[in-house]
Amino acid sequence: MQAGTVKDHVLAGVRAAIIDLDGTMLDTVPDFQVAINGMRAEFDLAPISADAIKLMVGKGSENLIRTVLALDFDAAGVEQRFEHAMDAYQRHYLAVNGQFSTLYPDVEAGLAAMKAAGLRLACVTNKPIAFALPLLKQKKLDGYFEIVYGGDSLPQKKPHPMPLLQVCADFDLAPAKVVAIGDSSNDAQAARAAACPVLTVPYGYNHGHSIHDTDSDGIVNTLLEAAHFISMHNRPAY
């Protein structure tokens, strides 16, 4: 599927959107790089590149830190150092959270257009909630969302459907009326399992794989384009 295209009819009846954070609204890899390399320095390990980190993010902090440690240690060594590494990473991340991250094009315009069209908005991210909430506030995005769930807000995180189904229950909407928008297979798999329509963006991280290989209902270049498609499929017929 080409960017800027959406399957017919899948967005009909959509009344809400669930939007991912890292790689969808914000390029947060520069924050990750500072925090991860700060942690690695405490273990006397060499810094790693932003390109390497891009391949690791998206599956939650625990997976991220284990993957980073696995660059230098075997499985036993990773587990031996994991708790200390997580503490160090969280300390460094909280110190820089948002300072080096940047908004992708048309994010705020897209959110504003969705709100203006009457959509209810939720942010569902695998980032810990203690990182997600201050980041959204710092970037002045928090006011757009009725609900924010982090990777530790519920017993399961994406690609499990639980966070998406929880939003549907919170909004009292059937999954078919709640579109998920994200940058990775995690978002698409969670949406498919929840029976929500799903749109993906062609930028972001997606674990090093092309978003064109991900099973979604459409690829939108920006959140503003997503808002346009949602509105277009929900215009009243005269």
The binding site for Mg(2+) consists of 20, 22, 183
Strand ranges (DSSP E) for the chain? 5-6, 16-19, 26-27, 102-103, 120-124, 147-149, 178-182, 198-200, 218-219
Active site residue 20: yes
Q: Which of 8, 20, 44, 142 is catalytic?
A: 20
Cis, peptide link before residue 175, omega less than 30° from 0: no
Annotated binding site: 20, 22, 183
DSSP helix/strand/coil, 1: coil
3-state helix, strand, coil in the chain (%, to 5): 45, 15, 40
- Burial label, 26 (beta-carbon count in 10 A; 0-12, 13-18, 19+): buried
Please check whether residue 42 is in contact with residue 91, taking contact to mean a CB–CB distance below 8 angstroms: no
Catalytic residue ranges: 20
